[in-house]
Structures are given as C-alpha cells and as structure tokens.
Amino acid sequence: MGKYHVTNYEQMSFDDFNQPTGLPINRDNRWVVRADNMPWHDLEGQYAMVFTSNRGPKPLPFRLVFGALMIQQLLELTDEETLEQIKENPYLQYFVGLPGYVYERPFSSSTLSRARQRIGDTEVLTMVNEMEDLMAQKGITSKIGRQH
C-alpha cells in the first residue's frame, strides 16, 4: 500500500451533491445529517498513520473507506451487500463522500476487506462506536441498524 496523504479537506455541501435530474433528495435524511456532523478531517489524520509506505497504489480517500466500513457495521452487512447498498442509494453515496450519484460500486469487496484488515477490526468497531457516541452527544439519535 502506498503512503496516505491527508487531503486538503473541505466538506462537500449537500447542495453540491450531484444527483440525477428528478431524483428528490431530502437534506433531513439520517445519512445526510450524520455525514454533515462527522469529524471527517480529524478521523482522516488517524487513518493516514496506518499508511507509512510509499509503495503500492495510492490508498482510497478516508471518507470513502471508513464511511463504507461504518455503513457495514451499523447495518450489519457483508462486504458484498455493503457495496450493493452504496451503489443503489444516493444517501449512502453522499455519506461516503462521492461528489455525485454514480451507477456503480465505488470499489471492490476485496478492497473493503483489505481496508478493514489494514485498520483492524477492533479499531474499526471502536471508531464506529466513538462516532455513534458523538452523534448522540449532538442529539442525532440513531435509527440506523444495530442498537448496541
């Protein structure tokens, strides 16, 4: 894996998300609200420390990878189903930071598996739980997936 370089991150606004004409998007959707309240930039700094080598392909953007892992944990999905859900749902695509709706998976299920192994299953679960606690502190109640 190549070394991860922290991006000059700017939160995409909901209004900048490019969806197909005629597809109404609700800015109060649970995934949009959650995405807009996530500390993506702070989390990305932790992610960059995992990638210290300059060898291999450039790692995928943090929000894309961790967003997918978070969706997977919250909805208790397999790698394949996680990517199918992202492919089919513009709200999930916004959550993972895609600039607009696309009609394909953002990456392969093997990439998701490798990312989870690279970060570590325990670390992923810890990060997801910390983000859920943060959402609760902000008054964003979870009506997503698991309730543990």
The domain segmentation of the chain, as residue ranges, is 14-137
Do residues 40 and 11 touch, judged by C-beta distance below 8 A?
yes
Decide if pLDDT at 148 tops 60.
Answer: no
Return the number of other C-beta atoms located less than 10 Å from residue 9's C-beta: 15
Calpha distance 1→132 (Å, rounded): 29
Decide if pLDDT at 12 tops 90.
Answer: no
Q: Please spell the DSSP secondary structure of 75-104, one letter per residue.
A: HT--HHHHHHHHHH-HHHHHHTT-SB--SS
- The reported pTM is 0.80
Confidence class for position 144, pLDDT limits 50, 70, 90: confident
Q: What proportion of the chain, given as a percentage, has pLDDT over 70?
A: 72
Nearest alpha-carbon partner for 22 in 80, 75, 85, 101: 101
